[in-house]
Structure 1
Amino acid sequence: MGDKLLMVGAGLSGAVIGRRLAEAGHEVTILDARSHVAGNCHTERDAETGVMVHVYGPHIFHTDDEGVWDYVNRFADFLPYKNRVKSTTQGQVFSLPINLHTINQFYGKTMRPDEARAFIESQADKSITDPQSFEEQALAFVGRDLYEAFFKGYTEKQWGCSPTELPASILKRLPVRFNYDDNYFFHRFQGMPEDGYTAMVERILDHPGITVRLETRFDPAQADQWDHVFWSGPLDGFYGFDLGRLGYRTLDFEQFRAQGDWQGCAVMNYGDADVPQTRITEHKHFSPWEEHEGSVLYRETSRECGPDDIPYYPIRLVEEKALLSDYVERARAEQNVTFVGRLGTYRYLDMDVTIREAMTAAETFLSARAEARAMPAFTVDPS
């Protein structure tokens, strides 16, 4: 006889954990406050144009984890997709990430890779030997010109503060390439599910041992009705935010429509500080194997997350980390509750990492049950 298990949240974490534990013979119930599964990677067909829309902003699948790639391909047909981002800044359009074409176009030169590498090194601020802030990291990487064109204004808009206040670690995942490769990601496996992410998650949840209840909120006071609870909601939300709220940035999406091809690419960043949006996304370009006359686009702007907003990006500055440690200490004392996913561990996670961590959490639970051990509150250290 299996345990009665509850997943709070029908996003990737809840779905992947729930599927594995249902396959192992447990009775799984999944609750979600929204009217759909798949969390923030929810996709749906636009009724007017037929375009597959990424409702909470674009999600592009990319990974080097072959096990995760095999897993998602069990539940969806992934078609090739390369993310080629453009940026409008200082009156021109450039390719991102910064590559040899970007550098030559920006400086009006025709440099070869070794020449460009030497040139950028000459632009970099050599006096910064141990970068502490985002700004110092950028200046040490590429110098002031490229920093101000591509990073400074965009970062101020995205994070709502000066790049001097952000840690250098945020910039460590933005590459500079000295060739003409404009593929935004460098992972071996990249693609998009042909029928969208929601259809993929629905297939993961399609198991006789899983019951899904949408538009249903969970009351943490009811946790003892289950043998174990996996919570993928906000960590502070489990406690009613009674110690204070962890800081997030949220996004506002202004939808507009056009006929034909409006901007010629899926993602156009706006690097200038005086342009309010961080980017415009044109969603039919996320499914390049489809053809649509009409187009659905979103202007995306970032702001501080309020109590009624959807939390997107954890801020994780000094104040938030102190509050996080208080919540984590409290959570570790919980019996039969495990905190998972982006919100449950207050970390920015790509989809492949979310899935891998969910797979690990499920296996940890099965091992704990087999060995009569307690399941930990976290299978990944949130700090």
Structure 2
Amino acid sequence: MGKDILIVGAGLSGAVIGRELAEAGHSVRIVEARDHIAGNCHTERCPETGVMVHVYGPHIFHTDDTGVWDYVNAHMRFLPYKNRVKAQSGGRVFSLPINLLTINQFFGQTLRPAEARAFIEAQADTTIEDPQTFEEQALRFVGPALYEAFFKGYTQKQWGCHPRELPAAILKRLPVRFNYDDDYFAHRHQGMPEGGYTEMVASILDHPGIEVALNTPYAPDMADDADHVFWSGPLDAYFGHDLGRLGYRTLDFERFTEQGDYQGCAVMNYCDAEVPFTRITEHKHFAPWETHEGSVMYREFSRACGPDDIPYYPIRQVEEKTLLRDYVTRAETLAGVTFVGRLGTYRYLDMDVTIREALDTARHFLRSRAGNKAMPAFVHAPL
């Protein structure tokens, strides 16, 4: 007997859509190529130290969407966590995002907020009226000294190109604060799941109408028994990459362990270009309610994503957007498949947005079925 819904991928998108449709009475089969659920937010206990490790790099939950906050807390209790990032530059340690303490430390000043605002404006290149590139955005709003110290080298390592080749929008997401607030995010709801993200996703998937098959890559004949397919894999992979591969950055992790507290914080960025890694994360600090003698750290190295690598960050520059448009046009001619999530729509999505879009997509599907209307290839457009 066939399943009426096939979902490719057991990450956040697939799990949330699957749960919503199962609760509405649909029979759902989810196929996952990896040997675990939860996608890139997969967490597991280190057998050596007992530390909860974010296997594919840290995932910190932050949102202003109270509905999504209530949704995740219904499946796992979230405990308070604030992301307070530190950065090494020029042999010194600073607080990020750039705030009043960073400014005073860096310039050897004791400025008050209004003074600091005027001071930074004096540093800025005001001849740049409409910043188009990352570099122009940084020079216009923080000036050359802070740009060189905190953004230029880190960005080159993270994206593999000069900041003048990147759009200004990337930097617009990074705040500069003229107070001593060092909370990296400004959202009302912030926290970490007490038992890890994988347990949270397991709770979402825990429904008699959902069947999950791990270690099961998608094969086209799987769709034969499905009334509809939700695809959360890479958009170009659905078509066998036959128009070319969309560009991503991937991450390599160098894992190591120590006794005690290695760096005193969860995230330490390394901004100097000559340091090959972008940051070191110390995972026990992501669960400050736990106590562990040992510690697990990851050095992160960013590079171009190859065919066999895990895609992390969509590049979305002019060349990629041109290819993306071709794939989107092609996808929109299809019936019976909807592309979802970070990979399926080739966008960088935070976890809360991923969950919100998955809920919206599932509800759109239910409305479409109720009204005998066709389900679109994209509920949330990639372009």
| TM-score normalised by L of structure 1 | 0.99
Deviation at 1:239, TM superposition (A): 0.5
> Corresponding residue for 2:229?
229
> Corresponding residue for 1:179?
179
Inter-partner Cα distance in structure 2 for 1:94 and 1:225: 56
Give 1:4's aligned amino acid: D
> Corresponding residue for 2:58?
58
Inter-partner Cα distance in structure 2 for 1:92 and 1:184: 19
> Corresponding residue for 2:291?
291
Q: Superposed, which structure 2 residues align to 1:138-149 within 5 Å?
A: 138-149=138-149
> Corresponding residue for 1:205?
205
Inter-partner Cα distance in structure 1 for 2:189 and 2:228: 34
The 1:283/1:42 distance shift into structure 2, 3 A limit, reads same
Deviation at 1:219, TM superposition (A): 1.4
> Corresponding residue for 2:124?
124
> Corresponding residue for 2:216?
216
Deviation at 1:324, TM superposition (A): 0.1
Q: Secondary structure at the match of 2:309?
A: coil
Residue by residue over 1:5-52, the C-alpha shift from the partner in whole angstroms, topping out at 9 and shown as x without a partner, is 011000000000000000000000011000000000000000010000
Give 2:88's aligned amino acid: T
Inter-partner Cα distance in structure 2 for 1:380 and 1:352: 15
Inter-partner Cα distance in structure 2 for 1:48 and 1:60: 23
Inter-partner Cα distance in structure 2 for 1:202 and 1:238: 26
Q: Superposed, which structure 2 residues align to 1:294-373 within 5 Å?
A: 294-373=294-373
Inter-partner Cα distance in structure 1 for 2:319 and 2:245: 11
Residue by residue over 1:331-372, the C-alpha shift from the partner in whole angstroms, topping out at 9 and shown as x without a partner, is 001111000000000000000000000000000000000000
Inter-partner Cα distance in structure 1 for 2:34 and 2:196: 18
Inter-partner Cα distance in structure 1 for 2:365 and 2:136: 43
Is 1:4 matched up with 2:19? no
Deviation at 1:220, TM superposition (A): 2.8
> Corresponding residue for 2:86?
86
Aligned residues: percent identity?
75
Deviation at 1:309, TM superposition (A): 0.3
Q: Secondary structure at the match of 2:164?
A: coil
> Corresponding residue for 1:275?
275
Inter-partner Cα distance in structure 2 for 1:217 and 1:257: 33
Give 1:355's aligned amino acid: I
Q: Secondary structure at the match of 1:164?
A: helix
Inter-partner Cα distance in structure 2 for 1:369 and 1:220: 23
> Is this contact kept in 2: 1:134–1:166, CA < 8 A?
yes
Inter-partner Cα distance in structure 2 for 1:272 and 1:45: 32
Residue by residue over 1:299-356, the C-alpha shift from the partner in whole angstroms, topping out at 9 and shown as x without a partner, is 0010000000000000000000000000000000111100000000000000000000
Deviation at 1:73, TM superposition (A): 0.5
Inter-partner Cα distance in structure 1 for 2:111 and 2:344: 47
Give 1:83's aligned amino acid: N
Deviation at 1:3, TM superposition (A): 6.8
Give 2:215's aligned amino acid: E
Q: Secondary structure at the match of 2:165?
A: coil
Q: Superposed, which structure 2 residues align to 1:29-44 within 5 Å?
A: 29-44=29-44
> Corresponding residue for 2:164?
164
Of 223-232 and 297-306, deviating more is 223-232
Give 1:363's aligned amino acid: R
Inter-partner Cα distance in structure 2 for 1:332 and 1:126: 44
> Is this contact kept in 2: 1:220–1:238, CA < 8 A?
no
Is 1:154 matched up with 2:154? yes
Deviation at 1:221, TM superposition (A): 4.5
Residue by residue over 1:106-164, the C-alpha shift from the partner in whole angstroms, topping out at 9 and shown as x without a partner, is 00000000000000000010000000100000111100000000000000000000000
| TM-score normalised by L of structure 2 | 0.99
Inter-partner Cα distance in structure 1 for 2:92 and 2:174: 21
